[in-house]
């Protein structure tokens, strides 16, 4: 399965019938789970229309905050219906015409004067409930917008995958350099410890050399990072497999990034050699960049 980011945009427009047309815009951004929000341009609630958008998005997306904007466009002469209460208009006209005009004024009652009276004309909108054929046509328009957004998410996912592999390669490169150094680092640690112990004990105190070696070996064993190296190798292998498999692996890879960061921190606390510390800082910085990019994956 292809990798996909959680950032995408899609737009589609189509004619549903002689009564309606529709335009749909789908936008998605990062979110821990799938959160679908649907908006329409209708004054009244339209749960049946929102359900179409939610279903199409849920079928294609697994994570992200997705906003679907659905604009339903009425078309044709029957888009609105105007009702004129002719009896009321005639009654109002007669009443207004029979009123005595104030002294010094002249004129006659016009239709504009009559229509200014509230309640004589009512305008009703066309029924917005779609029939089965119109709903099917709307589903196709929504599916087109969702597919366009999905293609953008997949293209972004491919770019992220390349960047993640490059950054991960920097961490693996640190481990490839560090692993052959481990025997020499262990030897140097033991030598420094033996020197420090001997300096503390002093020449006047008789201490068996074997005892000094045992204490130095014990402390050096606490600084051993072989287990951390093994676990890091295992995490890298799992990470590469999940990344190659694709699909909705963002949360899994995010968890692996946390484990890799933890092992690098432990390695750094145990091994404080200057040349190791410098390279380790660069590896940890690459790990942070990997995690930032992984958090954009679905």
The 10s digit of each residue's pLDDT in 144-183 is: 999 999 999 999 999 999 999 999 999 999 999 988 988 8
Residue-level pLDDT at 130: 85
Residue-level pLDDT at 91: 82
- Give residue-wise pLDDT tens across range 199-256: 766 655 555 666 656 665 566 556 678 888 999 999 999 999 999 998 889 999 999 9
Q: Are residues 196 and 287 in the same domain?
A: yes
- Give residue-wise pLDDT tens across range 4-13: 999 999 999 9
| Domain range for 114 | 86-119
DSSP secondary structure letters along 268-291: HHH---HHHHHHHHHHHHHHHHHH
Total of domains in the chain: 3
Q: CATH number of the domain that 17 lies in?
A: 3.30.230.10
> How remote is the C-alpha of 261 from its chain's centroid?
23
In a domain, 3, yes or no: no
Q: Are residues 184 and 231 in the same domain?
A: yes
| Arithmetic mean of pLDDT, 10-25 | 94
pTM to 2 decimals? 0.71
Q: Could you count the other beta carbons within 10 Å of the beta carbon of residue 137?
A: 19
In a domain, 1, yes or no: no
Q: Are residues 280 and 170 in the same domain?
A: yes
- Residues of the chain with pLDDT > 90: what percent? 51
Residue-level pLDDT at 100: 73
Q: Are residues 59 and 109 in the same domain?
A: no
Q: Are residues 108 and 223 in the same domain?
A: no
- Give residue-wise pLDDT tens across range 97-111: 777 766 655 567 777
Q: Are residues 280 and 166 in the same domain?
A: yes
Cα dist from 158 to 161, 189, 202, 287, whole Å: 5, 44, 63, 19
Contact yes or no for 225/185 (Cβ under 8 A): no
Q: Are residues 102 and 55 in the same domain?
A: no
Q: Which of 153, 171, 206 is the last residue of a domain?
A: 153
Residue-level pLDDT at 112: 75
Q: Are residues 147 and 161 in the same domain?
A: no
Q: Are residues 34 and 101 in the same domain?
A: no
In a domain, 165, yes or no: yes
Q: Are residues 263 and 278 in the same domain?
A: yes
Contact yes or no for 70/38 (Cβ under 8 A): yes
Q: Are residues 12 and 64 in the same domain?
A: yes
Residue-level pLDDT at 224: 72
Residue-level pLDDT at 249: 92
Q: Are residues 175 and 64 in the same domain?
A: no
């Amino acid at each position: 399965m292809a990798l996909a980011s959680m950032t995408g945009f899609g737009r589609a427009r189509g004619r549903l019938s002689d009564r309606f047309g529709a335009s749909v815009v789908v936008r998605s951004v990062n979110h821990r789970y799938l959160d679908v929000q649907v908006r329409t341009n209708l004054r009244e609630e339209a749960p049946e229309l929102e359900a179409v958008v939610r279903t199409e998005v849920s079928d294609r997306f697994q994570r992200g905050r997705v906003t679907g904007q659905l604009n339903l466009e009425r078309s044709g002469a029957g888009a609105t219906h105007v009702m004129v209460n002719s009896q009321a208009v005639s009654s109002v006209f007669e009443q207004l015409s029979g009123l005595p005009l104030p002294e010094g004024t002249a004129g006659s009652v016009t239709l504009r004067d009559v229509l200014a009276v509230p309640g004589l004309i009512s305008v009703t909108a066309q029924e917005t409930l779609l029939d089965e054929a119109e709903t099917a046509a709307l589903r196709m328009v929504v599916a087109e917008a969702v597919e366009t957004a999905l293609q953008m998410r997949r293209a972004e996912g491919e770019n992220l995958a390349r960047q993640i592999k490059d950054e991960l390669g920097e961490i693996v490169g640190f481990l490839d350099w560090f692993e052959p150094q481990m025997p020499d680092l262990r030897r140097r640690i033991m030598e420094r410890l033996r020197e420090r112990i001997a300096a503390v004990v002093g020449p006047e105190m008789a201490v068996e050399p074997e005892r000094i070696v045992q204490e130095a070996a014990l402390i050096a064993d606490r600084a051993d990072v072989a287990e951390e190296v093994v676990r890091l190798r295992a995490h890298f292998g799992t990470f590469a497999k999940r990344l190659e498999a694709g699909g909705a692996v963002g949360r899994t890879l995010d968890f692996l990034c946390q484990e890799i960061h933890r092992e690098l921190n432990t390695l750094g606390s145990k091994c404080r050699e200057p040349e190791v510390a410098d390279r380790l800082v660069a590896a940890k910085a690459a790990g942070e960049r990997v995690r930032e990019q992984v958090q954009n994956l679905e």
